[in-house]
Homo-oligomer: A and B are copies of this chain.
Amino acid sequence: MSELSTFTTATLVISCPDKVGIVAAVSNFVAQRQGSLIESNHHTDIEQGWFFMRNEINVDALSVTLDKFREEFEALALEFDMVWHVRDNQVLQKVVIMASHASHCLADLLHRWKSDELVCDIVCVISNHENLRGMVEWHGIPFHYVPVPKQDKTEAFAKVSDIVARHNADCVVLARYMQIIPPDLCSAYAGRLINIHHSFLPSFMGANPYRKAYDRGVKLIGATSHYVTEDLDEGPIIDQDVVRVSHSCTGDDLVRLGRDVEKTVLARGLRYHLQDRVIVRGNKTVVFSQ
């Protein structure tokens, strides 16, 4: 069974100050143009007075083109002071994956992509190691080896930035990429650069979280997918999960058990992102998970 919808769809995502009548205005707008709502979610953050909305619209019977739809929506957006976009779901998003030596997250993402579970275009994989080239190329995806020397990383990241830019990436995924991303890349891809951290944040930020977890004697370990900001491991959280461990687990067992959580949490986070289910505001996310 395919994940690709049998409809032609577009996704309208909105975030704005809360006010009476937004849902009415937006759903009127869509209905008047013969758009039919397949899935619609909204959320009001009462404390902040902020409104969030995601509409997945069947556009098969839409009375206007998507460009016209966008053009006409502008007036409404202005009225309610919206941050918004309309995504044409027929156009696959371009994703760059970055990895280091560990293969589990990358292998998992590639398999999900190959079996149509992750609907996107993986344009290339960038790694500071060579060991995953075979796996990537077997999937028919270009592999770029960009070593990152300890002394001076500037050139390496200039190359990375260049590859990402050249591929016109919509989204960059750090699939256990073990290098710190420089600030300019973070800000260029703000809200589109996803990392998996191998702990239940904010526990065990920084390096060696499994060792720290082992030393603290926690009874659950976890993983966190989040948008990358300049503050390491402090960005908006998309998803988290945990797995039970016990005194009988060695440090290696934590690493092994953690891998399964990392894979799932990253894949889920990326899927939500690609489906425009995540709306960032400040350092928090609204995730209209299914």
A→B interface (CB under 8 Å): 1-3, 20-21, 23-24, 27-28, 30-32, 34-47, 52, 61, 103-104, 107-108, 111, 114-115, 117, 134, 138, 200-204, 216-220, 222, 236-242, 246-253, 255-256, 259-260, 264, 283-287, 289-290
Contact = CB atoms under 8 A, between A and B. Distances in A.
A114 B259 CA distance: 14
A111 B104 contact: yes
Which 7 pairs, one residue from A and one from B, show the smallest C-beta to C-beta distance?
A217-B284, A24-B27, A21-B31, A23-B27, A24-B31, A247-B286, A219-B240
B248 A219 contact: no
Total copies of this chain within the assembly: 4
Contacts of A238: 219
B216 A200 contact: no
A283 B115 CA distance: 33
Given A111-B104, A202-B216, A203-B203, A248 B43 contact: yes
Contacts of A44: 37-39
A42 B43 contact: no
Contact of A218 (B103, B201, B255): B201
A218 B217 CA distance: 21
A201 B108 CA distance: 27
Contacts of A40: 23, 42
Given A38-B46, A216-B237, A115 B103 contact: yes
Nearest to A213: B202
A181 to B, nearest CB: 21
A218 B237 contact: yes
A4 to B, nearest CB: 10
Nearest to A278: B247
Contacts of A203: 200-203
B255 A1 contact: yes
Contacts of A21: 27, 31
A237 B217 contact: yes
